[in-house]
Amino acid sequence: MKKHLAELNVGRLVAPTDDPRVAEFMDNLDRVNGLGKRMPGFVWMMEGSGEPGAGNTENAIGDDPQFVANLTVWKDLASLKTFVFETIHNRFLTRRSEWFSALGDKHFVMWWVESGHQPSLEEALERLEHLRLHGATDFAFDWAYALDHQ
């Protein structure tokens, strides 16, 4: 069975989702996520309630509503790379520090899943923890590892 690429990106917003300090980010979530869903190679995204402008921010981690996650699955590394670095998404990625607190450890992880598998947030957080503890491996990896092992 063909493998697909899962990715988890976590961050802690500098303010609650209804605060003006994160308004530009929140106002563009539907736009950026919608683009991602229309990209060639997109497979699946963990969804929130579907409330306009909320994105996946309802999928908070732990008891902290500002600690949010984005979890997606892509057909391959090239598809994810194109979306992340060659679309409007990159403009928001480069401005991440305006809306998110700096995390002292890794906040992004990728891993291969069986075609059709939709990973849970718990599974994704386990992969992120593995990357933090053991570094990049076939089980959980970052961009550098993925690009070196294409």
Model-level pTM?
0.90
Query: Please, what's the b/e burial string for 74-85 (b: 16 or more CB within 10 A of its CB; e: otherwise)?
Result: bbbbebbbbbbe
Rg (CA), the chain: 15
Q: What's the pLDDT score for residue 1?
A: 66
The sign of the CA dihedral 61, 67, 73, 78 is negative
Q: What's the pLDDT score for residue 60?
A: 65
User: Tokens standing for 132?
Assistant: 């933090």
For the chain, the 3-state helix, strand and coil shares in percent, each to the nearest 5, are 40, 25, 35
Measure the CA–CA gap between 137 and 14, rounded to whole angstroms.
31
User: Tokens standing for 116?
Assistant: 């059709």
- The residue ranges of the chain whose pLDDT is under 70 are 1, 48-60, 104
Q: What's the pLDDT score for residue 67?
A: 86
Within 14-123, strands assigned E span 42-45, 60-61, 64-74, 100-101, 108-114
List of domains in the chain: 3-148 (3.30.70.100)
